[in-house]
Chain A
């Protein structure tokens, strides 16, 4: 499994280096919230993602890693291919022993279509679809992306629907459904340094009932140098809007106290 994954990452990196003369930097000011901008046609960008999630009931630490290869298709349409894997460490509640697993989580295909431009039009608007496939499950993600440029400030908002299908005895079966809102505001203090705030509300539903609804918020920082950029968001969980356990303030059985995400564009 590890060998196959390494070969895939190496192949993708080599492909990027071979076609490096048309690499572009499409700065992302947020890591949980998408913006409506698309890569110019024929351009590409390689973006590694690292998400660190920590602090559930008991010891919990996890890395969600993604390697994204973005391609500009037309002046309004872009696509991207992701390779996904994770490493997770938990403490056994009785033996207190730490155990870790690493897992390849399949690949995803993203498509984004820009309808309005945030600079040329009164606000930016884009539609986004992503399908994630693994050997035993399939995930879909649909987003409406809105953003607005006001001088050195960028506002962005995403409405996200995420149904998940699991492979069972009767084929793929609908398993769960989540509805998310993400929003961010980022201010450019200089062309190189940007800072802001990002908020993420995650609501998990099953058969039309809300199981829990959590809110995360925290600062976001970006640094840009030529075609290189890096963006970091540090989110902390706020008291939940709704929890599955009565009396609990936070959702810590399936979510973490902290979510930190780093995105960067690789210069080559």
Chain B
């Protein structure tokens, strides 16, 4: 016969063995989730990018970041922008364009994002 007490014990057993690890992992991931792997462009970087590539804005850089993640992360973890310089990135994007179905315009957008977040300062130095 199943008493209320044994039913409670059973539920506790299932909870302890099955759901506690989940809480632990969520906690660990929360700690690890302090920053995204791909840096987000800042207004200063967007301003400097607009000087080099007229028409570039914070919005287009944010879109390019999403495009970079969407096109590349299906096959591998996207490389960190600081891993290569502008000329290496240009070569890599040209090489990967066919496999990732990147148009010339999309390559240019992604290159602008990669260069802006890796070569331009995040904020203007304080006076």
Contact = CB atoms under 8 A, between A and B. Distances in A.
Contact of B36 (A24, A27, A120, A188): A120
Contacts of A117: 69-70, 73
Interface string B20-41: 0110011011001111111000
Nearest to A146: B29
B88 interface: no
A25 B66 CA distance: 20
Contacts, number: 105
A145 B29 CA distance: 12
Interface of B: prevailing SS: helix
A27 B76 contact: yes
Interface in A169-213: 179, 181, 183, 188, 201, 203, 205, 208-210, 213
What is the interface residue range for chain A against chain B?
35 or more
A179 B18 contact: yes
A146 B21 CA distance: 14
B69 A120 contact: yes
B90 interface: no
A122 to B, nearest CB: 4
A118 interface: yes
Contacts of B10: 208-210
A26 B29 CA distance: 23
A146 B101 CA distance: 27
A248 interface: no
Interface in B55-74: 65-66, 68-71, 73-74
A36 to B, nearest CB: 9
Given A75-B70, A117-B69, A27 B75 contact: yes
B52 interface: no
Contacts of B80: 151
B74 A119 contact: no
B35 to A, nearest CB: 7
B83 to A, nearest CB: 10
B26 to A, nearest CB: 8
Contacts of A146: 25-26, 29
A19 to B, nearest CB: 15
Given A40-B74, A181-B21, A181-B25, A123 B32 contact: yes
A40 B75 CA distance: 8
21 contacts: A24-B74, A25-B76, A26-B74, A27-B75, A37-B73, A40-B70, A40-B75, A43-B74, A75-B70, A118-B37, A118-B73, A120-B36, A120-B37, A120-B65, A123-B29, A155-B28, A181-B25, A188-B77, A203-B18, A208-B14, A209-B10
Given A37-B73, A150-B32, A242-B13, 16 more contacts: A25-B75, A38-B74, A40-B71, A117-B73, A119-B77, A120-B36, A120-B68, A148-B32, A151-B37, A154-B77, A179-B19, A181-B22, A188-B77, A205-B14, A205-B18, A213-B17
